[in-house]
Amino acid sequence: MPTSSSAARGARTTLTVDEALGRILARVAPLEEVEGPLLAAMGSVLARDAIADRDVPSFRNSAMDGYAVRAADVQTADARLRVIGSISAGVMPEGAVGPGEAMRIMTGAPMPEGADTVVRVEDTDNGTDPVTITRATAAGTAVRNAGEDLRRGQRVIAAGTVLRAGEIGVLASLGYERVMTIRRPNVAIVSTGDELVDIDEVPGPGQIRDANRYSLTAAVRAAHCAAFELGIARDDPEDVKHSLGNAAFGDVIVTSGGVSVGDHDHVKPVVDSMGSMDFWSIAIRPGRPLAFGELRTTRGSVPIFGLPGNPVSALLTFELFVRPALLKMAGHTRLNRPRAKARLVDRLEKPTGLRTFARGIYDRDAGSVRSTGPQGSGILSSMALANCLIDLPEGKAAAERGEMVDLILTNLVEDH
């Protein structure tokens, strides 16, 4: 949807958010499979189906501390049984349980021959020998059968699954010391701007601290990718060129600043000299200018994102455009954050024609959302307060109090 100001700039393409994302995703593909130690795969996407190499559990065992017995002997409370042994976890039982007999058994210990039921300690007098059963117990109680969890040869985790703590535990139980996953992209991050100083410097007159390199690095890491910060490039074509040369080892390059139409915006011409870059005006607020292209390297072409310099715009365009691309490269099929609908507490005005992403604070219990306050694109504190983005459609000029609005759940506290 072209707007008057972007039409005035003529040469630039104006795209909707969805069109821009579609073009980006069409130009990135999943990376290759890599093998690595199990725990290093946390957050990665499994490349091959994981198959059970044995039944899990591989032997019949007790789910409780108690007495392994024959069900026929414990159908009445007050049955008295001879205790002929004791079985600990990790030890195979010697001998079998016959009629009128019991073996003391610990949780996880193998069931002895002859026994088909475990009576919990709490349902006995805890006798050494004999033991008195104080509650009738049904056949099969507290016995875990072999293969009850997983069957040998069964596909346990499908290729394409994201590995979290639960999957890591299952893979460990199957003996996967090393796993094949889709490699996660390495992301090189460059800030541009003469006004920027690093975190450990005191800004002089007209200078500001470089926030984007840190917020973008953190956002890359939150997406389980490796981030490499390559410092600040000055607003000088040679310096930008030098920084991008250093960044060329990455699977993805992310720059911030220098992509508006100011005199000192060198990113596009420099990238054009090293590859190609499209300059897009996106019908979005905040974060309008976005550059996307490819840098030619000895390894082939590397996607490069030129994000706007405003700290809110930089982080927002990362969230909307870079993060899905990183996830696709890392083999994910679900590229979108979860969404929700909530009742808006405060009225929000927005420019007609621009899809607007207000930073919001979502109260899940109340089903409501309020904005973080002033929504200017330089107000980075709005990002720090937000746990969601309020996604307001292009066509409207405002969202009213009490209206149901769409949310992108970027960062719910419960996720931590």
Binding-site ranges for ligand AMP (CB under 6 A): 191, 193, 195-196, 208, 210-213, 256-260, 262, 308-311
116 vs 194, which CB is nearer to ligand AMP?
Answer: 194
10 vs 206, which CB is nearer to ligand AMP?
Answer: 206
275 vs 309, which CB is nearer to Mg ion?
Answer: 309
- Candidates 93, 112, 250, 257; binder of Mg ion (CB under 5 A) is 257
From the CB of 206, what's the least distance to Mg ion, in Å? 12
From the CB of 232, what's the least distance to ligand AMP, in Å? 7
From the CB of 197, what's the least distance to ligand AMP, in Å? 10
- Binding partner at 170 among ligand AMP, Mg ion, none, C-beta below 5 to 8 Å by kind: none
Give one DSSP letter per residue of 337-376, joined into a string: PPEEEEEESS-EE--TTSEEEEEEEEETTTTEEEE-S---
- Binding partner at 196 among ligand AMP, Mg ion, none, C-beta below 5 to 8 Å by kind: ligand AMP
**Binding to Mg ion by residue 193, rule CB under 5 A?**
yes
309 vs 324, which CB is nearer to ligand AMP?
Answer: 309
How many angstroms separate the CA atoms of 385 and 329, rounded? 29
Would you call 314 helix, strand, or coil by DSSP? helix
- Cβ 79 vs Cβ 129: under 8 Å: no
Would you call 102 helix, strand, or coil by DSSP? strand
**Chain residues 271-310 in contact with Mg ion, contact rule CB under 5 A:** 309
C-alpha triplet 209, 211, 214: angle, nearest 5° = 130
DSSP state of 184: P
C-alpha triplet 182, 184, 189: angle, nearest 5° = 165
Point out which span in 175-183, 211-219, 254-262, 297-305 binds Mg ion (CB under 5 A).
254-262
Phi/psi zone of residue 358: left (φ > 0), alpha (ψ -120 to 50 degrees), beta? Answer: beta
Q: Which two tokens stand for residue 356?
A: 């607007």
- Binding partner at 210 among Mg ion, ligand AMP, none, C-beta below 5 to 8 Å by kind: ligand AMP
| Longest distance between any two alpha carbons in the chain, whole Å | 95
**Contact residues for Mg ion, defined by CB under 5 A:** 193, 257-258, 309
